[in-house]
Homo-oligomer: A and B are copies of this chain.
Amino acid sequence: MASTSVGPPSRSDMANDSYPPIQPGASLMLALRLQDRPILLIGGGVVASQRLYFLLESGAHITLVSPSPLEPSIAHRISDPSTSSQIKWHERPYLGRTDPIKVSDFDLVMTAIDDNPLSAQVCEMCREERVMVNVADIPPQCDFYFGAQIRQGPLQIMISTGGLGPRASAMIRDIIRKALPENIEESVKGIGSLRSDLRKRAPGVGGERGQQRMDWMKDLCDLWGLEQMTRFNDEETRRFVLDQGWDNGKMVSPTEVKGKVQKVGQFWEQVKQFGHTQLAAGVSGFGAGLAVATVATIYLTRNAAR
């Protein structure tokens, strides 16, 4: 993996005056917070419905411009009470420059229509107004790309191949999905709750205290591991760890905490993370070993008897 981007230089890198070379051509990967933000979505087909889904999950306020008929899932989201308030539907084609709906009133603009001249016009308008735009399927008219995604509660993972291979992105997503621990969502929620409690106990942004909080949290995460972090969903456990650990300026290990102790040692934790394929391999190997030794023994004793 010679060209793996190693990320920003570490302290040891800097001490040695060695900096990882910059490999150009990357996207900047971001997680946008769109709660209540205005987004313009032009189109009413399958691709538009996919965009709409992710926009709804982000809490955006979507202005949808498309004539009928709409893709059924879009029609559903417009009429369903749980999502209808997030969508304002203008039942007509978008008119480009003459349209009363102005791209400059939005944070992002997305088109997913089969009208290339209109898409190009929308793209032009957005670039004049400095509004980020995505024209489905036309990379030069995209200021940003979508990718394959995984979401488990607060955990979100995105796989992008820079437009080279959407199917490859989806296949890599499937590999990642299988690799994630089963209760990863509980781990993330647990550590989030602990972090939140710690901020209340030791408030303030940045500075020395902020650094202390970060260092303590990092060391704790490394000590507990993802599996044990699920225990931080329990308020008593969090309080104990903060009282015994943070307040005394030290670490608290998983075995020191009473209550709903998951009696899984380091070894079993790794076994669990290994998953089923390794277990199957081990059992099969064991069976094969038994069989081979038994056959060999029978063969050898027969020969000895002769």
Instruction: Identify the A interface with B (CB < 8 A).
Output: 1, 3-5, 7-9, 13-14, 17, 19, 21-34, 49-50, 53-60, 71-73, 76-77, 80, 82-83, 107, 114, 116, 130, 132, 137-138, 142-147, 149-162, 164-165, 167-168, 171-172, 175-176, 178-182, 184-185, 187-189, 191-192, 195, 205-207, 210, 217-218, 221-222, 225-226, 229, 274, 277-279, 281-294, 297, 301
B184 adjacent to A172 (CB under 8 Å): yes
A168 adjacent to B24 (CB under 8 Å): no
Contact for A29 among B107, B147, B185, CB less than 8 A? B147
Q: List 16 A-B contacts (CB under 8 A).
A: A4-B151, A5-B151, A7-B53, A23-B57, A27-B32, A27-B58, A28-B32, A29-B156, A32-B144, A154-B161, A156-B159, A157-B157, A158-B158, A167-B217, A279-B281, A281-B282
B57 adjacent to A22 (CB under 8 Å): yes
B179 adjacent to A175 (CB under 8 Å): yes
A152 adjacent to B278 (CB under 8 Å): no
Write out the residue numbers on chain B whose beta carbons fall within 8 Å of the beta carbon of A178: 179
CB closest chain-B residue, reference A145: B31
CB closest chain-B residue, reference A174: B226
Write out the residue numbers on chain B whose beta carbons fall within 8 Å of the beta carbon of A83: 22
Complex Cα–Cα for A9 and B29 (A):
25
CB closest chain-B residue, reference A153: B3
Closest chain B CB from A83 CB (angstroms): 6
Q: Given the interface contacts A27-B32, A288-B286, A293-B297, does A73 sit within 8 Å of B9 by beta carbon?
A: yes
